[in-house]
Amino acid sequence: MAILNIVKEGDPILRKECRPVGEITPRIIRLLDDMRETLIDANGAGLAAPQVGVLRRIAIVENDGQFIELINPEIIAREGVQNEIEGCLSVPDVWRITERPEKVTVRATDRNGKEFTATGEGLLARAFCHEIDHLSGKLFTDEAVRILSPEEVKEMLG
């Protein structure tokens, strides 16, 4: 496994639509493993393939020490509304309040080719939405309802 370079805002790859994964090859499995290691190293909540320079519909989200790998994910249900603080590994040191669903259900494929659904609330719902947005060339700053001052960020994040 390897720690990959995280692409930063301004790189045009972050604004491109990702291609679906057709076949799960050893290269896709290696990408998932490398993305996990990169996410752990960066201490993030999630990571999408375009953030490491790969235009494929792949993302990984960490939830309570467990990693949810998402190949060709799509949100199939959303419920409620939350307005919470959000950041991004590709947009370092920038924090915004975003409006996201309180609860989402995602359908995706795992590394073994098996389709599954996962439901998340709160932070997990935000992470699912955030990473799936990356696969369509959207950044969390596009969803921002309020920009936070450095003082507000410090107060909210401790």
Domain that holds residue 76: 12-157
Residue 16 included in any domain: yes
- Site of tokens 């990169």: 38
Number of domains in the chain: 1
Phi, psi of 28 (to 5 degrees): -65, -40
Residue 5 included in any domain: no
Exactly one of 102, 131, 151, 152 is catalytic; name it. 131
Q: What is the pLDDT of residues 76-124, one digit of tens each?
A: 999 999 999 999 999 998 999 999 999 999 999 999 999 999 999 999 9
Asked if pLDDT for residue 158 goes beyond 80, the answer is no
pTM: 0.95
The CATH number of the domain holding residue 16 is: 3.90.45.10
Residue 1 included in any domain: no
Residue 32 included in any domain: yes
Active site residue 131: yes
Better pLDDT: 155 or 24: 24
Asked if pLDDT for residue 38 goes beyond 80, the answer is yes
Please tell me whether residue 154 adopts helix, strand or coil conformation: helix
Instruction: Report residue 117 CA to chain centroid gap.
Output: 16
Q: What is the pLDDT of residue 1?
A: 75
